[in-house]
Amino acid sequence: MRVLVVEDDDLLGGALQTGLRDRGFVIDWVRDGIGADTMLRTGEYAAVVLDLGLPRRGGLEVLRTARARGDRVPVLVLTARDAVEDRIAGLDTGSDDYVVKPVAISELAARLRALIRRAHGAGSNLLAVGGLTLDAHSREVSFRGQRVELHASEFALLRELMLNSGRVLTREQLEASLYDLDRAAESNTIEVFVHRLRRKLAPEVIRTIRGVGYLLPRDAAKDDDA
Ligand code: CA
């Protein structure tokens, strides 16, 4: 899950980047409002962590601009403890949630997971598609009732496909959800991970749509025909 962090404070931004990466998020970090606006227009983000007091363009302005052009990405605003008006302004402008500084990373991560789930119409940490279940919190995956051990990148890829089951995802979309800007993918890594997932699960779980990308059908491998 690729998340944009917008925070001009180096210490806090660095802590958010490290802490959220440790919890399985892919993080791009920008330090001002113009940068945030540019990234939101070009990148594909599952959610945004947005500070309000930013150089060059304030966070509320960034949010207002994004909502005005129809961007519905979930936005979590960072506010100071006593800044009730900031929270209200953020919510009124179209933010989805807020966290009060000083930030507890584990709480922020939990709120991000909740926002991303809600944006995908899922009600809990447990994703279930066909014969697959995936727990985004405990990071456990089972297939046809059997636990499956996945490496971090395989898990991230499967989660993205499950969150978007029934939709074709391009290789570029999958890469964007798996890699930070400063850790670019090698050209064949998505194919490699898809291959590994098919081997660990079943070949038919992930369909290749030639010339477009990959699809996890909504009824993926539901029937145990073994
Ligand atoms: Ca700030």
d(CA 92, CA 89): 5
Interval 13-68: pLDDT, tens: 999 999 999 998 999 999 999 999 999 997 679 999 999 999 999 999 999 999 99
Confidence category of residue 5, pLDDT binned at 50, 70, 90: very high
Residue 146 pLDDT greater than 70, yes or no = yes
Bridge partners (DSSP) listed for residue 98: 77
Residue 141 pLDDT greater than 50, yes or no = yes
Ligand 1 centroid distance, CA of 79 (Å)? 9
- Domains, in order of start, for the chain: 2-119 (3.40.50.2300), 126-215 (1.10.10.10)
Instruction: Report residues near ion ligand 1: CB below 5 Å.
Output: 8, 51, 53
Q: Beta-strand (E) ranges in 64-197? A: 75-79, 97-100, 126-129, 132-135, 140-143, 146-148, 168-170
Ligand 1 centroid distance, CA of 59 (Å)? 9
Between 91 and 3, the higher pLDDT residue? 3
Ligand 1 centroid distance, CA of 45 (Å)? 21
Ligand 1 centroid distance, CA of 3 (Å)? 18
Ligand 1 centroid distance, CA of 31 (Å)? 9
Is the whole model's pTM more than 0.95, yes or no? no
Residue with tokens 């791009």: 28
